[in-house]
Amino acid sequence: MANMMDYLEWRGDLTFAADGFNEVDNLILSQLVYVDFDGIVGGPGGAEVISLARASARFWEMHDKDEILATVSMTKMAPFIMKKTAGTKRFKDVMLSCYVNDISDEEQSQFSVVCMTLPDEGLYVAFSGTDNTIVGWRENFNMGYLATTPGQRKAVDYLNQVVTPEHGIVRVGGHSKGGNLSVYASVKCEPWIQEKIVQVYSNDGPGFSREMLESGAYQRMLPKIRTILPESSIVGLLLEHRGECEVVCSSQNGIQQHDAMSWEVRGNSFVYADGVAARSVLLDKTMKGWLYQLNGEERQAIVDTIFSMLEAAEIRTVDDFYASRWKAVQELIRAKSRLPEETQKLFSRALKLLWSEGNKTVRKKILKKV
């Protein structure tokens, strides 16, 4: 089936004046923020802007295809999407500015974002999802017990800083964790900025706590939020959502459906499925049932344990793990054996609860069929 690259072939010659902004445009722009624009796009506070066409040319002067393809990350196709996008009449004059790429081990935060001004003067603020770093993945897990993550706070500050009264319509979006940051920033930003926002896109992004979803601020922004998930969503079903979720078909299976390149496109819209796949619903029920049996301190302890083991094994990136899988697993086993006894007990209890919750969910499904 067709994907966003086919969309660029079919409709790349149509300007935004000829065919307005659509959901596939959103997905494409949400992927471009995964590109490393360091040294290419200026940061907030500066007047520098650069066209997508020029930014792409400069990127490929600094990098080569083999270097990009050697990485393990699911987002490694972003530079190739950029190259294709930059060659179209529709996108080549999109102007990039206010780029931030901030990775902090101390804050356990990986934060990246860029502003894109469309030829129709509309602004799209694209927040990045999780990159190839382990600290980036840790921030996703931290959402399970923190009321607010450092990345979420940075997202609010960024939106308040870059949007000005001179801006017309504003769209905010992101993929994976970037979808979560897009919603959070839009809910918490200044009210006058909220009035300018016409749409917030969460493309397979994690949800929020029940307290957040029940807040008046979230409820006011809800009509503008679009939550888009693939059929076998895993990341996008984490935590809680409100409102209708739109479910798109994917050419991949399981966790690989998180890859936006697999989302099916027809014309200027997605190909929609009837709903989330049964196996994803089962997994979601299992994970939520498991988490709700653990208090905040226990959740934090489990996350700390997992990532302290990764640190002890000197696994800093996804590439590190895949480069020597068996050695990495051996290192993790050794790291677990060095944990305090109480931590090992908690870790074992959590695994037993997860196993028990999984069995309970499956039994309920079988009983419903009887």
**CA-to-CA distance for 336 and 327, rounded, in angstroms?**
14
**CA-to-CA distance for 353 and 347, rounded, in angstroms?**
10
Candidates 17, 35, 211; CA nearest to 131 is 35
Q: Which of 277, 309, 331 is the last residue of a domain?
A: 277
Q: When comparing pLDDT for 367 and 171, which is higher?
A: 171
Tens-digit pLDDT profile for residues 176-204? 999 999 999 999 999 999 999 999 999 99
Write out the two tokens for 89: 């009449």
Tens-digit pLDDT profile for residues 66-84? 888 877 666 789 999 999 9
pLDDT for the residue 24: 98
- Give mean pLDDT, residues 203-217: 89
Pairing relationship of beta strands 170-175 and 123-127 according to DSSP bridges: parallel
Burial of 62 (0-12, 13-18, 19+ CB in 10 A): exposed
CA atoms within 13 A on the CB side of 315: 27
**CA-to-CA distance for 178 and 182, rounded, in angstroms?**
6
| Three-state DSSP state, 173 | strand
| 108 — pLDDT class (breaks 50, 70, 90) | low
Tens-digit pLDDT profile for residues 329-353? 555 555 556 556 666 665 565 555 5
Query: Do both 158 and 267 map to the same domain?
Result: yes
H-helix segments, 40-197: 52-62, 65-69, 78-86, 134-142, 150-162, 177-188, 191-196
Query: Do both 182 and 212 map to the same domain?
Result: yes
Q: Which helix (H) or strand (E) holds 114?
A: strand 109-117
Q: Which of 42-46, 206-210, 233-237, 244-248 has the lowest mean pLDDT?
A: 233-237
**CA-to-CA distance for 187 and 190, rounded, in angstroms?**
9
In a domain, residue 335? The reply is yes
Query: Do both 248 and 318 map to the same domain?
Result: no
Query: Do both 176 and 127 map to the same domain?
Result: yes
Residue listed under structure tokens 């793990």:
321
| Residue type present at position 239 | L
Query: Do both 317 and 267 map to the same domain?
Result: no
Q: Which of 277, 303, 325 is the last residue of a domain?
A: 277
- Give mean pLDDT, residues 245-270: 89
Q: When comparing pLDDT for 3 and 325, which is higher?
A: 3
- List own/partner pairs for 55-59 with CB under 8 A and 24 or more apart: 55/82, 55/86, 55/96, 56/82, 56/83, 56/85, 56/86, 56/87, 57/86, 59/35
Strand partners, 111: 102
CATH number of residue 248's parent domain: 3.40.50
In a domain, residue 82? The reply is yes
Query: Do both 19 and 129 map to the same domain?
Result: yes
Query: Do both 145 and 57 map to the same domain?
Result: yes
Query: Do both 122 and 176 map to the same domain?
Result: yes
Q: CA 357 → CA 298, 350, 362, distances in Å?
A: 17, 10, 9
Query: Do both 208 and 334 map to the same domain?
Result: no
Query: Do both 273 and 332 map to the same domain?
Result: no
Distance of CA 358 to the CA centre of its chain: 26
Q: Give me the domain span that covers residue 182.
A: 4-277
Number of structural domains in the chain: 2
- Is the whole-model pTM more than 0.85? no
Query: Do both 57 and 140 map to the same domain?
Result: yes
Query: Do both 304 and 220 map to the same domain?
Result: no
Q: Which of 243, 277, 311 is the last residue of a domain?
A: 277
pLDDT for the residue 329: 53
In a domain, residue 289? The reply is no
Strand partners, 133: 317
Candidates 130, 133, 149; CA nearest to 300 is 149
In a domain, residue 286? The reply is no
Burial of 148 (0-12, 13-18, 19+ CB in 10 A): middle
The DSSP string of 232-275 is: T-SGGGSSB--SPEEEE-BSS-GGGGGSGGGB-EETTEEPBPSS
| 311 — pLDDT class (breaks 50, 70, 90) | low
- Give mean pLDDT, residues 49-63: 97
